[in-house]
């Protein structure tokens, strides 16, 4: 059920106890928000390449956004090389980035479908950017879904390059590498 627009958004760091609820939110977000941008096959394949990277929770760089005690969204940033993907995604790289020459990563942003267009994504981005600056990063990059791209453009991110993520069933999911100077 949707909450009134007047409900304030509150941010906190995610904990391991949040993982089950975040997993449900992510699945619902992928299944309900991406069909406007992707084919049914691409939406199904998105579950393979997207999801929660628990390293973000361990690094204390992953946020939960709540409205009246209900999780409205989640997302975070990383000082590690992995650009996108969850624990189950192949090709992850936990190497630490050099803030002087590399961009922090904005990662795993999801909004509950009942809370779209209420500032959840903007709040997450502002938190990520603020924390990345504190750690001396000069820019942020992300792998944006086609559904998220309009928000990121509105928040000052620019397209670096479109690309496709390969999946085990040979379906390619379109993504866009985007960046922003901080």
Domain residue ranges of the chain, discontinuous segments joined by +? 9-138
Residue 36 and residue 27: Cα distance in Å, rounded? Answer: 16
Mean pLDDT by 10 residues, the chain (182 residues): 65 98 97 97 95 96 97 98 90 92 98 96 98 98 97 98 95 98 98
Give the pLDDT confidence score for residue 106 in this predicted structure: 98
Give the pLDDT confidence score for residue 6 in this predicted structure: 57
Q: Which CATH superfamily is domain 9-138 in?
A: Gcn5-related N-acetyltransferase (GNAT) (3.40.630.30)
Give the pLDDT confidence score for residue 1 in this predicted structure: 44
Residue 182 and residue 174: Cα distance in Å, rounded? Answer: 26
Give the pLDDT confidence score for residue 90 in this predicted structure: 78
What lies within 8 Å, CB to CB, of 88 at 6+ separation is 48, 51
Question: Taking the mean position of all CA atoms in its chain, how far away is CA 177?
Answer: 13
If you write DSSP's letter for every residue of 103-165 in order, what string do you get? Answer: -EEEEEEEE-GGGTTSSHHHHHHHHHHHHHHHTT--EEEEEEETTTHHHHHHTT-EEEEEEEE
pTM: 0.93
Q: Which residues pair with 77 in a beta bridge?
A: 106
Give the pLDDT confidence score for residue 19 in this predicted structure: 98
Give the pLDDT confidence score for residue 89 in this predicted structure: 85
């Amino acid at each position: 059920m949707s909450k009134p627009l007047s409900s304030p958004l509150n941010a906190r760091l995610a904990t391991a106890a949040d993982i089950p609820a975040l997993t449900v939110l992510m699945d619902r977000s992928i299944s309900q928000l991406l069909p406007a941008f992707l084919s049914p096959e691409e939406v199904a394949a998105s579950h393979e390449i997207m999801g929660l990277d628990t390293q973000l929770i361990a690094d204390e760089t992953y946020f939960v956004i709540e409205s009246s005690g209900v999780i409205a969204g989640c997302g975070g940033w990383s000082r590690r090389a992995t650009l996108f993907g969850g624990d189950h995604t192949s090709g992850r790289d936990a190497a630490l980035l050099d803030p002087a020459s590399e961009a922090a990563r904005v990662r795993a942003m999801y909004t509950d479908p009942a809370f779209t267009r209420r500032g959840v994504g903007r709040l997450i981005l502002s938190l990520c950017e603020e924390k990345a600056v504190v750690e001396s990063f000069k820019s942020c990059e992300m792998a944006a879904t086609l559904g998220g791209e309009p928000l990121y453009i509105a928040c000052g991110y620019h397209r670096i390059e479109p690309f496709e993520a390969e999946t085990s069933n040979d379906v390619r999911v379109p993504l866009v590498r985007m960046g922003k100077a901080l």
